[in-house]
Structure 1
């Protein structure tokens, strides 16, 4: 006797859900085994994303090298990771002071990082400096600071660690970049420029080191949602329909935990490029390539609207 047609769809749904659950369980198990004993460097480890990422890799048995600008915050993160950890399953993290705004210290930082274990398996470049301001109000000094932190810092650290990866013919470099490395928006000129620069650097690097078995991944995300309540903005006039629609999507963002999970999955699956964004930014990327005049007109209209200018990320 055949199965009633009315039961087919629910049955397929249950089967699909079961397969998806088993798949996730297998992936989580593999996530732990793939990074176990791996030497993982995380820059700006004391940030929300860095902390979430550190917890995931630590629980999976990685040998962490935590980098940050504050020794007190690094020690707090160390305590967080080790207090509830099983010493037989995890390694005590090592800590290194790293400040990308002090480029003169980078040579010493690279030496200290390499002295921890003698090599690095996975480098996660997480540091970033943001700025929202009209072009004419940004000083040259500020431009240079942003370029140091967002471009010269990650690229210099990568160059310092790269020789050991090449000699071992293995390694994985992950850049946490903004979607503005691929799509620039008003009032983010210096920030977008630095993100475009670092995106290009790692795209070039990916091609150059592939022959050595080194993987280079870039994760482009929208703004990070730290779960703070949204600001209430008083408007004196109603924005136009296009601006209002875009603004309604700007309250979305990527949660630190979701981004940290994506970093782990990117490492495990060896993905080279990841885009974490809602439909509007994704569509904007296609429009930028296919119909740039239309996108330029929309962005110009948004720049004229004070509400959108305050909310855009």
Structure 2
């Protein structure tokens, strides 16, 4: 006897949801086994995203090398990871002071990172410095500082660790970048420039090291939103302030640290080369940049004149 058509659709939805649930459970189980015993280096591990990453990799049995600029914060993270951990299932992390704004110390830091375990399986470049300001107000010194932290630091660290990966013909380098490495937004000139540079460097690196069995991934995300969104209060509808204001309102929906950390672990496990973690509006803007750049430029220019756009971006 055939099922009524009214029942078929809900039944298909339930079956699809069940398959999706099982699929995610299998991936989660595999993710733990895939990182077990792997040497994973995380820069800026004391940040929201870095600490979430550390938690996930640590639970998966990875041998962590946690890098940061503050020894006190690194020790605090160490304590939070090891306090309730099973020493039979996890490894105590190793801590390394790393400050990309001090490029003269990079050679010594690279040696210290490699010496922790003698090799590196996964390098997660997570460090970032943000800046919002008009072009004419940013000093050359600040420009250089942003380039050191966002571009020269990660690229120098990757270059230093790369020989050990090439010699072992295995390894994974992952750059946690920003969507502004592919799409420039007003009042972010220095930040966007550094992210564009990092994106280009790691794109080139990916092609150059593929023959050695080394994987390179980039994750481009919208801004990281560590706050819990408040419920919207019911209020009379406000007039829309144009297309620019609409885009700006959509860009305020950021990515949570936990969501980004989970994506980092998935990217490492699946060896995906490029990931875009963004809501539909930024994705559309990227397509407009490629297909209809004059239109996007006009929208962005209009947004600069619009006080709403200037404040929200």
Q: TM-score range by the shorter chain?
A: over 0.9
Shift of 1:307: 2.3
Measure, in 2, the Cα distance between the counterparts of 1:304 and 1:244. 11
Listed one character per residue, the Cα deviations across residues 238-270 of structure 1 (whole Å, up to 9, x for unaligned) are: 773112211221220100000000000001111
Measure, in 2, the Cα distance between the counterparts of 1:149 and 1:238. 41
Counterparts of 1:84-233 in structure 2 under 5 Å? 84-227=84-227
The farther-off stretch of 254-263 and 241-250 is: 241-250
Over 2 Å off, 4+ runs: 237-240
SS in 1 for 2:7: helix
The farther-off stretch of 200-209 and 240-249 is: 240-249
Question: Unaligned regions of 5+ residues in structure 2, if any?
Answer: 231-237
**1:42–1:125 contact (8 Å) kept in structure 2:** yes
Shift of 1:17: 0.9
**2:249–2:312 contact (8 Å) kept in structure 1:** no
RMSD value over aligned CA atoms? 1.3
Shift of 1:228: 5.6
Structure-2 change in CA distance of 1:13 and 1:154 (3 Å): same
Task: Give the corresponding residue for 1:233.
Answer: none
Shift of 1:4: 2.0
Measure, in 2, the Cα distance between the counterparts of 1:229 and 1:281. 19
Task: Give the corresponding residue for 2:67.
Answer: 67
Listed one character per residue, the Cα deviations across residues 199-250 of structure 1 (whole Å, up to 9, x for unaligned) are: 00000000000000100000000000111668xxxxxx97731122112212
Measure, in 2, the Cα distance between the counterparts of 1:261 and 1:22. 17
Alignment TM-score, normalising by the size of structure 1: 0.96
Listed one character per residue, the Cα deviations across residues 36-57 of structure 1 (whole Å, up to 9, x for unaligned) are: 0000000000000000000000
**2:251–2:281 contact (8 Å) kept in structure 1:** no
Counterparts of 1:8-27 in structure 2 under 5 Å? 8-27=8-27
Count of residue correspondences = 306
The farther-off stretch of 301-310 and 156-165 is: 301-310
Listed one character per residue, the Cα deviations across residues 112-148 of structure 1 (whole Å, up to 9, x for unaligned) are: 0011000000000000000000000000000000000
Measure, in 2, the Cα distance between the counterparts of 1:55 and 1:245. 36
Q: Does 1:245 align with 2:209?
A: no
Question: Unaligned regions of 5+ residues in structure 1, if any?
Answer: 231-236
Measure, in 2, the Cα distance between the counterparts of 1:244 and 1:101. 35
